[in-house]
Structure 1
């Protein structure tokens, strides 16, 4: 780069008033969708006499600020609030993780489910479940409470897979779309086979087998405070990392050599972003199991509406991811009624065609395809 010429800066560095106003309106729109999804989620259930207004009254009682509802109504309200909060937090975590991975790999097709990060987390969590269920070393299960053990195992599994993708997905000094996809497909296939073998091995214990099966397409039922605190911790750490990676990811999007010339420590930025992305994906999988395509769909929608700047994209993905997954879950519960469908199944039906569409749009860039 000629030092006499001004350094090329990404368009995201410039935020005219019109762009800022658009970002504000997009954020308001996502917030309204999230509020509507919360209202719908609280009002949907088998107990039809419990509407969303009663759920709000029950929430005040849950926080110790009001009188509890009568009979089993308070218990039902607390279950609905727990499911609503867990669903929103998982959606935020997966979308945030997907945006970070796309920034690190400079590839809009990168996502936790595509690259195998969620599969690795699911494998780690399943190993912990087997250990707690008595199929592993009892000393391992006694070292920590079950939620903490599952979380640590999920993080280690996700970190291992993400590291493998980072090592194997590099071709000719850069990350190419075909290589990343092939590595992700291979890892997902291997992990899927291992999980199937583990389910067969644990078939004699119904509860353990049921828990392993739930990890395949996600399970938002029967969640508690431990999952909420787990997700809040992971997302809190992720939000704290935004000021340390957002501007650098904007510069990295122009090119790694240009970013280095502008003083960006690309190794540190990539390591921190991968660590945070892995943590958020692992926490989401440890809480509810695998839910595919949230980390792929949401960043694309946010990028289309609010621009490519990671200083806007990352916090917006937290809001949009929560609104998206909660809308999908509440909508399918309202539409299907008692015929429940796991969220991972619904998202696969939506995300599969979306992913194929992205592949078609990117086919001209795949020079080695």
Structure 2
């Protein structure tokens, strides 16, 4: 039996790594470098604990603070959603991006952009858009929830999730979403700002984050985390199948509803502030299982921390290598996650049988 790192040690190591990455992202950037003291002072000034830096350095640091917090929240949210969906579907190939949940949320958000007035993750087009961020998140949540239920319905056969059906349903749904997004972009081609916002949703973005972006993704993450105590043990029992779980007293319908709702809302909030970022929810839970094993009590919490570390680490790596020419996070995650997904499929080729 493989030895597993103690839970407290894993949490402490990830928390320390997260803190170091956050400080580095605050101190270093393509335009300005801050000392550790100035970075801490400027960050504390955001909550009124110290005097701010001079106007321009303070504003640059503020943008870095909100970008870092948003990136950490998005990474944690997508990783948690992936771990939840993999536990529910009893399959390590399930992820928000692969089964269409991220695409559904992105389509819902894009429809809100086009129909409700033109709000995008990189710009605010409408002057009277006080409620637009919340309407955008609600629309993304509806899209994610519809995608969850659609894939679950198509992939379930006699109470068992069919792996080929799961993958094919995700591919089909993502194809439909891609077609719908292309149609919306073509229809809004003459409206440059709206079209630009749709492109930003498609590739993901962490540029020009503000306070409400960090708050929005934090709300979704907290809601999803609040469901963990109610579903972690049940997901362990789900591994033997729904019938076995029901035979030992698990309320399977309630568990599925909680898991789908938590995965949908945290994905929706992440997509509503950063656009579509694929494969975080696939890669991170697999990495965490190497340390945490299959216990969902450990897996779900550690996936949150690891997801935050993963996205911040890739962002810092880009900064050090590419400077101010950083790739959109959705593009970068596809470059990382695509080969990982192919390797995962290859390793499981005997388990994923044909129809």
Band the TM-score falls in, shorter-chain normalisation: over 0.9
State the partner residue of 2:22. 38
Contact 1:171 1:179 in 2 (8 A): no
Matched, 1:219 2:219: no
Give the counterpart of 2:279 among 268, 293, 297. 293
* Correspondences of 1:200-219 after superposition (within 5 Å): 200-219=186-205
Deviation, 1:26, is 2.3
Contact 1:83 1:220 in 2 (8 A): yes
Deviation, 1:53, is 3.6
Cα distance between partner residues in 2 of 1:210 and 1:123: 15
State the partner residue of 2:233. 247
Matched, 1:164 2:126: no
Cα distance between partner residues in 1 of 2:303 and 2:190: 42
Q: How many residues align?
A: 348
Under a length normalisation based on structure 1, what TM-score does the superposition of the two structures give? 0.90
Under a length normalisation based on structure 2, what TM-score does the superposition of the two structures give? 0.93
Runs (4 or more) in structure 1 with deviation over 4 Å come to: 141-144
Cα distance between partner residues in 2 of 1:240 and 1:29: 23
Cα distance between partner residues in 2 of 1:60 and 1:142: 31
Deviation, 1:54, is 1.8
Cα root mean square deviation, aligned: 2.0
Matched, 1:262 2:248: yes
Alignment deviations for residues 286-342 of structure 1 (CA, whole Å, 9 cap, x no partner):
011000000000000001111110011111111111110111112112210121210
Alignment deviations for residues 70-100 of structure 1 (CA, whole Å, 9 cap, x no partner):
1311111111000000000000000000000
Cα distance between partner residues in 2 of 1:244 and 1:159: 19
State the partner residue of 2:329. 343
Going from structure 1 to structure 2, the CA distance change for 1:258 and 1:173 (only over 3 Å counts) comes to closer
Cα distance between partner residues in 2 of 1:302 and 1:163: 26
Give the counterpart of 1:187 among 170, 173, 178. 173
Larger radius of gyration: 1
Give the counterpart of 2:346 among 360, 363, 367. 360
Residue 210 of structure 1 aligns to a residue in which SS? Answer: helix
Deviation, 1:367, is 3.0
Going from structure 1 to structure 2, the CA distance change for 1:87 and 1:52 (only over 3 Å counts) comes to farther
Give the counterpart of 1:323 among 283, 299, 309. 309
Cα distance between partner residues in 1 of 2:37 and 2:204: 28
